[in-house]
Amino acid sequence: MNDLVEVRAGVYRDSVSLMRVSRALTARPWVSVALVAMATALNVEMARDLGFAVPGTATPGDLLVAIRAGSADELADAAADLERHLAERGSAAGSGGARTEGARPGGTLPRTVRSAARTAQASAAPATPATLALVSVPGEHAFAEAMDAVAAGLSVMIFSDNMPIEQEILLKDRARERGVLVMGPDCGTAVIGGAGLGFANVLRPGPVGVVAASGTGAQQVTSLLDLAGVGVGHVLGVGGRDLSAEVGGRSTIQALRALDADPATELIVLISKPPAPEVARAVRDLSLTKPIVAALLGPGQDDLTAAAAKVLSTLGVPVPGWPHWPAPRPLSGGGPLRGLYCGGTLCTEAELITRAMPARETAEFTDFGADEYTRGRAHPMIDPALRLEALAAVDRGVVLLDVVLGHGADPDPAASLAPGLARAAARGVAAVVALVGTDGDPQGLRAQAARLNEAGAAVFTSNAAAARHAARLAVPLTGGAV
Amino acid sequence: MTLSMLNGEPHVITVGAEILGEALDRQAVPRTGVDWRPPMAGVAADVLAGVLADPRRERANETAVGRLVSARPRLVGVRPAREVLGLEPGTFFHAGPPITWDRASGPMRGALIGAMLFEGLARTPEEAEAALAAATGPDGGAGSGRGVTLDSCHHHRTVGPMAGVVSPSMWMLEVADDEHGGTAYCSLNEGLGKVLRYGAYGPEVIDRLRWMGEVLGPVLRAALERCGPIDLRSLTAQALQMGDELHNRNRAATSLLVREIAPAVVEAAPDRAAEVLRFINGNDHFFLNAGMAAAKVSADAARNVPGSSLVVAMARNGTDFGIQISGLGDRWFTGPAGVPDGLYLGAYGPADANPDIGDSTITETTGLGGFAMAAAPAIVRFVGGDVADAVTATTSMYEITLAEHPAYQIPGLGFRGTPVGIDVTLVARTGLLPVVNTGIAGRVAGTGQVGAGLVSPPAEAFTTALEALAGALNSP
């Protein structure tokens, strides 16, 4: 056994970047373990449980490296590979980065949003001044960076989750005073002036403006609009809690007013779970000048696909048949329904739809994007490991999954998912995939659909259609396959 | 309402997961990346958030740092400490946060012994030590008759380099702030070699102090009365453009001061002019003490702004490194003084070094010294680095400061203003400690200077200050 254990004092990388490094090293032949992570108590304990002799001096501000390889040569190669990966990131964020404009004399990068805003504001043309900030540091530290943005007069998207609600309320109040918008916390997607932030589909520009308390909900509606040929100007996320009684729709109200005042926006879509009644009242009382289509996901409400259709008819655009690819071989029906989701809203929508349909054996849904699954690891749209494990454990019945394309998401989700789907099909499990994306997405909607389909899955661009299909499969018509 | 981000080209500041920044790069969206790290060890996220949420903070810091950089220090007089500070015989001021004899380091003890001898309060060093060992702090001194009292210079609008010992018979530079009306004091610089501020107390040290009291002080006073106040803000600005950083290099500033004052010295005291000018000219650091008083009066202008997290003093007594915060009055937040990392003179080495000492960190507090290293390429090797290190030192200090000085500029950085106004919250967030550029005192009293280098303040001074700011929010 050849072990490399190192604690690098004061070296910091974000958890997603480190996970990618760990994964790349583990993929090397003869490397049995590669743990490259910040030396938190949890990670140190994990390394020690694996038998690595981690020095007692490690603190959470240090980088922990623990690699185990079959031979000394393999270990040396893995170590060299590690340096290459770490250096890669260093240059991307450093002065050599093609589009990173924060570099300054002395080679130092700004260390806070405050400093970055000052740099970006001061830097002479050709650079445009900073217009907004995207914060994705761990949630307990997000407040400081978001506060910097607001103080500098910038709108801010807070991708981070786990921010205390009182901090959210305070930020949103300060933002209103400054005439800027706080999107989030836990805001997964936004599109501002053509730039996709977080998990964002590539959308054609157009007359629709979206205000969304739900990231994947917004991605579903805007992707369907795009497939129907209708473009989107801005998608303003507001964070999942914004329409709660506590937060009171602070950002939603601001975002609706801003889109109402935006000359390029003709119609506004509001996507959320049903708001608290007093918040719903406040939103209704806004007296906006532009038509508004509400997609409020809940019992008795339109599903997201129906909301997209309503937008199209309001604009006078015919509603197309949503692209789908039937399973290459008929799927056998019956058995329990297992929903394995990345997108929280998509998961809720699928659950609502299947619960409203005739009873079946059992239906169990898991949202792998929920906080309890993302603490200390990346979102399942980036790191599929947990969901793949769950898929491998399904041995009968019907499995329903979402695959979300776009910037920020897994660059090739079919690569890891298709083999798992094929194995599930071999076990007699019927697989249904809701594929959320557009033709412009870097992964390619149709290429991904084809590979998932070849693996045996029925693929739908409408999550609602996928859920209905899966539910029907789970309750077989008397006497045979569907 | 309208949102400005909805119009025009997006330019995104990204902080956190690199993958989200890369997604923007692939869309060719301009962005400014932030090299974020978790806060300094010992900083609780809720404590930091609580301080950052204080609604007064932003405005308070603007006010405080605005006062600091708008101060207009002028050298207005040279007078004995007993006269300007009301210093009684037996009372001594010293550098850094308050300290007692039993905790004092070699150079601090040596300087206090020397001051006792100079004031004629002891005939021998042993006698001086005995009296000093029984010394009380400023609060315990009342009614103690002829006992010895020790107090921090900073408590009396005063600063002193190295041991910073001030006794009643020493002559002080008096610096007034024309903008805010404050006054601050610093002793006269004795030169290098065996000097009191490094803890030497031999006969030649005492003789020099006598000469400074009898000749140098009175001549400078008379000269200043002739030529009028000297604008130290202007001298500092010029010296920065001539390669000084105003802490470890004062050669340009001293030369400029001599140029300003020499004719008046000649007119005021023709018989003594040569020896006075030769003394000043022979000491590249003569300006340092005037610069320190200028820094002190500027920093004091920024004191006592409720809610401000600005550092208004950094000072060391050879044992502790202490800081004071604008929004927290006269409280000190301390940690152990570190041993500077740098180059040593002659055969001296780190084992000969005393922990960090002196009030001269008031220069860094006001954006000079280590913060202005990029202005002083001539001395970077002296403190153990190269020019690139100096530029990095200065540029990194912009990360923990609130402003760029409008008058103090660095030619090599495109005449960018020096980074000024340390914010405790920014230190806590970035983990970047102020860069202090300092002389190194020998640990044995009287050794003198053994080297020069860079030193980091103790992190706990900043984390405890942050906790106190949070605590002050809960107890109105």
B21 touches A at CB < 8 Å: yes
Which of B2, B9, B13 should we substitute to test contact with A (largest number of A Cβ atoms within 10 Å)?
A: B13
Paired tokens of B21: 């920044």
Q: Are residues A287 and A342 in the same domain?
A: no
Residue A251 has pLDDT above 60, yes or no: yes
Full domain range(s) for residue A216: 186-291
Q: Across the interface, which of A10, A108, A134 has its CB nearest the CB of B396?
A: A108
Taking an 8 Å cut-off on Cβ atoms, the answer to whether A131 and B12 are in contact is yes
- For the stretch A110-129, pLDDT in tens is 999 999 998 766 554 445 68
Q: Across the interface, which of B6, B13, B45 has its CB nearest the CB of A141?
A: B45
Task: Evaluate whether residue A348 is within a structural domain.
Answer: yes
Q: How many residues does chain B have?
A: 476
In the block, tokens 């870097």 appear at A442
A205 touches B at CB < 8 Å: no
Q: Are residues A284 and A341 in the same domain?
A: no
Residue A417 has pLDDT above 80, yes or no: yes
Task: Evaluate whether residue A171 is within a structural domain.
Answer: no
- For the stretch A167-180, pLDDT in tens is 999 999 999 999 99
**Cα separations in angstroms, A432 against A338, A448, A458, B313:** 10, 14, 5, 66
The per-residue pLDDT for B424 is 98
The per-residue pLDDT for A376 is 67
Which of B3, B386, B397 should we substitute to test contact with A (largest number of A Cβ atoms within 10 Å)?
A: B3
Q: Are residues A259 and A334 in the same domain?
A: no
Interface of B with A in 356-415 (CB under 8 A): 374, 388, 391-392, 394-396, 398-399, 413-414
Find chain A residues with C-beta within 8 A of B9's C-beta.
Answer: 128, 131, 193
Q: What is the CATH number of the domain that holds A464?
A: 3.40.50.261
Find chain B residues with C-beta within 8 A of A107's C-beta.
Answer: 392
- CA geometry: angle A26, A30, A32, nearest 5 deg: 50
Query: Strand locations in A388-429, DSSP E?
Result: 398-404
Q: Are residues A345 and A412 in the same domain?
A: yes
Number of C-beta neighbours around residue B98 at 10 A: 18
pLDDT band (50, 70, 90) for residue A94: very low
Q: Are residues A283 and A383 in the same domain?
A: no
Q: What is the CATH number of the domain that holds A22?
A: 3.30.70
Taking an 8 Å cut-off on Cβ atoms, the answer to whether A258 and B3 are in contact is yes
Distance CA B10, CA B3 (A): 12
Domain boundary among A50, A73, A92: A92
Task: Evaluate whether residue A158 is within a structural domain.
Answer: no
Q: Can you give the pTM of this predicted structure?
A: 0.91
A20: closest chain B residue by CA: B19
Find chain A residues with C-beta within 8 A of B430's C-beta.
Answer: 111-112
Q: Are residues A360 and A286 in the same domain?
A: no
pLDDT band (50, 70, 90) for residue A101: very low
Q: Are residues A279 and A331 in the same domain?
A: no
Distance CA B60, CA B56 (A): 6
User: Own/partner pairs for B249-256, CB < 8 Å, 24+ apart?
Assistant: B249/B284, B249/B376, B249/B378, B249/B379, B250/B284, B250/B285, B250/B286, B250/B287, B250/B288, B250/B291, B251/B284, B253/B287, B253/B291, B254/B280, B254/B281, B254/B283, B254/B284, B254/B285, B254/B286, B254/B287, B256/B287
Q: Across the interface, which of B5, B16, B31 has its CB nearest the CB of A136?
A: B16
Distance CA B285, CA B246 (A): 9
Q: Are residues A328 and A287 in the same domain?
A: no
Domain boundary among A73, A92, A111: A92
A11 touches B at CB < 8 Å: no
- For the stretch A143-193, pLDDT in tens is 999 999 999 999 999 999 889 999 999 999 999 999 999 999 999 999 998
A470 touches B at CB < 8 Å: no
Pairing of strands B449-455, B341-344: antiparallel
**A272 HSE (CA, 13 A, CB side):** 27
Q: Are residues A22 and A74 in the same domain?
A: yes
Mean pLDDT for chain A overall: 89
Q: Are residues A392 and A343 in the same domain?
A: yes
Which of A115, A166, A174, A252 should we substitute to test contact with B (largest number of B Cβ atoms within 10 Å)?
A: A115
A175: closest chain B residue by CA: B3
- Cα torsion through B443, B449, B451, B457, rounded to 10: 60
Task: Evaluate whether residue A385 is within a structural domain.
Answer: yes
Domain boundary among A48, A70, A92: A92
The per-residue pLDDT for B445 is 85
Task: Evaluate whether residue A63 is within a structural domain.
Answer: yes
Q: What kind and span of H or E run contains A35?
A: strand A31-38
Q: Across the interface, which of B19, B25, B425 has its CB nearest the CB of A98?
A: B25
Taking an 8 Å cut-off on Cβ atoms, the answer to whether A14 and B17 are in contact is yes
- For the stretch B107-159, pLDDT in tens is 999 999 999 999 999 999 999 999 999 998 877 544 445 689 999 999 999 99
Q: Are residues A235 and A367 in the same domain?
A: no
Secondary structure class of A471 (helix, strand, coil): helix
Q: Min CA distance, A108 vs chain B (Å)?
A: 7
Q: Name the nearest CA neighbour of B107 among B381, B411, B384, B447.
A: B447
- For the stretch A280-296, pLDDT in tens is 889 888 989 999 999 98
The per-residue pLDDT for A363 is 87
Residue A351 has pLDDT above 80, yes or no: yes
- For the stretch B12-34, pLDDT in tens is 999 999 999 999 999 999 999 99
Which of B20, B397, B413, B430 should we substitute to test contact with A (largest number of A Cβ atoms within 10 Å)?
A: B20
Domains within chain B, CATH numbers bracketed: 2-34 (no CATH), 45-69+303-474 (3.90.1700.10), 73-295 (3.90.1710.10)
- CA geometry: angle A141, A108, B452, nearest 5 deg: 105
**Domains in chain A, number:** 3
Find chain A residues with C-beta within 8 A of B431's C-beta.
Answer: 10, 61
The per-residue pLDDT for A121 is 63
Find chain A residues with C-beta within 8 A of B397's C-beta.
Answer: none
Find chain A residues with C-beta within 8 A of B59's C-beta.
Answer: none
The mean-pLDDT minimum among A29-33, A212-216, B217-221, B223-227 falls in A29-33
Q: How many residues does chain A have?
A: 482
Average pLDDT over residues A130-150: 96
Interface of A with B in 30-69 (CB under 8 A): 38, 59-61
Return all residues near A376 (Cβ < 8 A) that are at least 6 apart: A15, A40, A42
Do residues A451 and A457 make contact, with C-beta atoms less than 8 angstroms apart?
no
Query: CA end-to-end span of chain B, whole Å?
Result: 36
Task: Evaluate whether residue A82 is within a structural domain.
Answer: yes
Percent of chain B with pLDDT over 70: 98
Q: Are residues A274 and A395 in the same domain?
A: no
Q: Name the nearest CA neighbour of B4 among A129, A126, A131, A191.
A: A131
B274 touches A at CB < 8 Å: no
Give alpha helix (H) positions in B212-285: 217-227, 232-240, 251-268, 273-281
Query: Strand locations in A84-131, DSSP E?
Result: none
